[in-house]
Structure 1
């Protein structure tokens, strides 16, 4: 095997030859290719000086540390700097050393460095071109045809990397910049704007497009992904700009566009110093730690190096999965997994007294609206309200400094049992905020992408099985955010509260569920002819749209752009004691009685009407269509 030093020496010899060639070419040009005899002695001695001086300068500028096959703009700039220095130093040394008359012509001193730069840069460019053609030229006619969407640096790098791939063949680029229209990138032409994708896909028989906009705002990338979906093209996307810049992944390591690319938002930026200040080196407890939000909270908390992370959940399997994950990915974090019911006052008191958490994140709750509406209504009250009371009261007794309740937008003007119980849980925390030294904060947000029981995993399963995809109503809308975003904002809110506030997350724009279903079907590479959408009617307790703030509430801004504070109605004296009398009933209560009682405790709660008439209307609408 030939050593790297050997190759570097060959490159150096090539450049020395370039010095000689450029010197004599400069003389030949100066004298119209007929050098007078009297100029030859100075030319020969001057050449010797130029070889020594310029060879030393070229080596000093590090031109032989790179690899020719990867020669690029930085190498050319290095050559230019070296030749510029040589152009200044060489005449000075030659004038001192050469004593012949006539002397070296001044035009030679001007032309020779230019010719040397052309030679050194040209040989490297030619070698790289030959090598790439030798290695990858045969691949250009192979691979699946693909269009690159974007014309920035990421797109340029992607086209260059894909030119060496046998998997993909770039037929062109699409970009909305007028300045880039008709331009070429590594032999691939900018064929038009991104909205022209359907035309280009049909013209070039393209079935895949790669979105190369890692630095663009999420709204832009989401719009581009939607263009791909509507054009019937399978969309791929390059990694995020942070992953590319840090070198964790290459631009060419594309992945499929998923539903989060269609619904997600720009990455959340939280004040890590503020969050670290109240979590680092402290005991932290998370109830419902085995669930979607609870487990992500645990992962986010682990970043801030708590002294111990107490994970409390009634689900044995959820705790097991969490413990296994932490053993692999967070071995430096001391984690305690504890099985228990938030309604079990003895168990909750024991855990609080033993670990003395600095902050408790209460995420344990029954949250599935239809399941909690009828046969499980009383259990929803006991778990969501009594369970919150037990954990919150225990935190006050143990002197826990902070308590953060994970709430929901369904607590705003609730129309279902689940939402009403979460509103009651909020009021419990507001009432306890006036007792003891514990700061209570409440954080509301909407649906999270991919959480257990959410619509997206359900749609994915239905599409995978060939459909139909069931949507409750053509006009139903929901807010969505990613689980990591929700968890980070929960941590941020926990650091900001002074006691009793209701934090409201910026949920962005609501999404029509039927449009989400259509996009997910197209995203899978199928059409609505392959996978039908069926409207089933609103489920018990379900709203057409969700709200984030109740009518009677006002909000004020915080120092975080995605968090606002709602001013809710105060809790009356004696309210909590009266509520507890009801909560501590030991008998089963029917759904109708539960709804009646909830209306007494939550005045804004208006139970939704039975869903059967809605189903009939929707079915008739479908039949007429």
Structure 2
């Protein structure tokens, strides 16, 4: 009502500057009083007082305009009744002024109230990447939010840059880092649902690389059409990745071989070691001793086992298999019956770049734990090996083959401990395997890197690998090398394509230049083979299970092993990589292909 009085007074004042024949103020008082009452009634009827101040938007402004017009009509009717002889121009000005004043004071009061309210609490400052419809809708929604404050836009469209959209300035993408630093940006929101997902992933990856938190906003159509999103993404079948059916159901139980036994697992925090621990829980052993040199990995598996075991004696031991006194003490103190040796450095490029450390851990570590097991009278010792040990062309594979030869030699000279080895190919989901790498590359929009389009690999699940290791221990007669019938090797290029398409994208190549993610060939890494093998010789024996084979392979004599170990210790002690490679080439099958250090320098 105050605005009604003020608007009428201003309208009369404006008209007074043009004409001076207006009635005296005393004659206008009854009309203004009636006008105040009429305006109040009209405002109440239109429910203007009930509009929440924080929600005063277009609809509120429209109602205010209608209120102004109706109040002006009421003033005109009062004028005709009381007849104070006011000109029509006054009522026109009154209508305009009433609308402007009513809207202005509400908007001003809203901003002042919000500013006072928000000053008392911290707000997240957000930069919105994308000034299109979705970005504008997001800004409109966030204007009513007390926790988040939109600061500015960033957009790739040059025609929008430097303009003001939805009340925010639009900047170029090249200024993002500067904006984050100078405008105290807490988070970047990607509001570009219309662009392709790989491109969006690349933008998000770039923004994260400069050190900011990034979130992607789906379109409102996608939020409603959830079912369509589910149709678009179909997970890759494990059977497709393996090239055969999974074998968990075909592998028999092994509880009889480990029930009531005291078992030591080295490398217990790794992919295979931790799965061995989990599967052994169902065998009800007397105790599990978990040995690992990684504090975090050991803590994680120890906590998991204690949560799952409910009463089983689980003992974590933090240390390395290279610590002879520790290994011997653990075997004696816990009266170990079975040793599952899974501790090894297995990442091919890292071992290739750290030859001495890799050989020391994989070869000497195996020698220390195996000899300690023999001296402690352990019943069974099972070495977890790799298909890369077959005719190796890299240091990692050669180190695993030397470890096998060590165990085979001990098996010929020991009757109390049954030594055996088990080989398998790549394990799905293990650390450093190709599957997590491809998933990471797809998540950031590609490209997916492939060393060679002809590369093939054998694959198995972690649970299959762990069950095979446990079965090898139950089948062992001494000196055995067990392998799993893993079906046909899987082409890695086919695997990459399946994972891209399974994630809902298309492959970008010469035939499909508009595809989402490219498969990029980088070239074979040093020491990498196109095709891995599981057997050195073709002589194989059967086992109690038709899917598991026992390989018959040649091995070194006790004198040859002693000579190889003496030379290897010397190479490790002197940190002589070239000598270590010569030892490998001398004693391991096919290792003449390994380049020496001098040959590598010449090739460079």
Contact 1:443 1:504 in 2 (8 A): yes
Provide the residue aligned with 1:284 in structure 2: 263
Provide the residue aligned with 1:540 in structure 2: 526
Q: CA deviation at 1:435?
A: 2.5
Q: CA deviation at 1:331?
A: 2.2
1:411-455, Cα deviation, whole Å (9 max, x unpaired)? 111111111111110010011012331100110000000000001
- Give the TM-score normalised by structure 2: 0.57
1:152-209, Cα deviation, whole Å (9 max, x unpaired)? xxxxxxxxxxxxxxxxxxxxxxxxxxxxxxxxxxxxxxxxxxxxxxxxxxxxxx9689
Describe the SS at the equivalent of 1:294: helix
Describe the SS at the equivalent of 2:573: coil
| In 2: Cα distance, 1:393 partner to 1:269 partner | 35
Contact 1:540 1:608 in 2 (8 A): no
Provide the residue aligned with 1:598 in structure 2: 584
2:397 is equivalent to residue 412 of structure 1: no
Q: How many pairs are equivalent?
A: 361
Provide the residue aligned with 1:346 in structure 2: 325
Please give the residue correspondences for 1:218-297 in structure 2 after superposition, counting only pairs within 5 Å: 234-235=233-234, 256-257=235-236, 262-263=241-242, 265-269=245-249, 275-297=254-276
| In 2: Cα distance, 1:527 partner to 1:603 partner | 43
Provide the residue aligned with 1:223 in structure 2: none
Please give the residue correspondences for 1:580-595 in structure 2 after superposition, counting only pairs within 5 Å: 580-585=565-570, 587-595=573-581
1:129-149, Cα deviation, whole Å (9 max, x unpaired)? xxxxxxxxxxxxxxxxxxxxx
Distance 1:580 1:463, change over 3 A: same
Distance 1:359 1:538, change over 3 A: same
Describe the SS at the equivalent of 1:352: helix
Contact 1:373 1:591 in 2 (8 A): no
Distance 1:261 1:209, change over 3 A: farther
- Give the TM-score normalised by structure 1: 0.55
Please give the residue correspondences for 1:34-433 in structure 2 after superposition, counting only pairs within 5 Å: 234-235=233-234, 256-257=235-236, 262-263=241-242, 265-269=245-249, 275-374=254-353, 376-433=354-411
Please give the residue correspondences for 1:5-20 in structure 2 after superposition, counting only pairs within 5 Å: none
RMSD of the alignment, in Å?
2.1
Q: CA deviation at 1:572?
A: 1.4
Contact 1:284 1:357 in 2 (8 A): yes
| In 2: Cα distance, 1:262 partner to 1:430 partner | 33
Please give the residue correspondences for 1:512-551 in structure 2 after superposition, counting only pairs within 5 Å: 512-528=491-507, 529-550=515-536
* Gapped regions of structure 2 (runs ≥ 5): 1-226, 508-514, 597-604
Contact 2:236 2:498 in 1 (8 A): no
Q: CA deviation at 1:257?
A: 4.6
1:30-56, Cα deviation, whole Å (9 max, x unpaired)? xxxxxxxxxxxxxxxxxxxxxxxxxxx
Distance 1:271 1:507, change over 3 A: closer
Q: CA deviation at 1:507?
A: 1.5
Contact 2:288 2:314 in 1 (8 A): yes
1:572-591, Cα deviation, whole Å (9 max, x unpaired)? 13123212312333534343
| In 1: Cα distance, 2:474 partner to 2:229 partner | 45
Describe the SS at the equivalent of 1:312: strand
Q: CA deviation at 1:234?
A: 3.1
Describe the SS at the equivalent of 1:277: helix
Contact 1:270 1:492 in 2 (8 A): no
Distance 1:467 1:608, change over 3 A: farther
Q: CA deviation at 1:309?
A: 0.3
| In 1: Cα distance, 2:582 partner to 2:252 partner | 45
Distance 1:515 1:270, change over 3 A: closer
Structure ID, larger Rg:
2
Within the candidate set 413, 427, 439, 1:448 is matched to 427
Describe the SS at the equivalent of 1:574: helix
Q: CA deviation at 1:271?
A: 6.5
* Gapped regions of structure 1 (runs ≥ 5): 1-205, 211-232, 236-255, 611-625
Q: CA deviation at 1:543?
A: 0.3
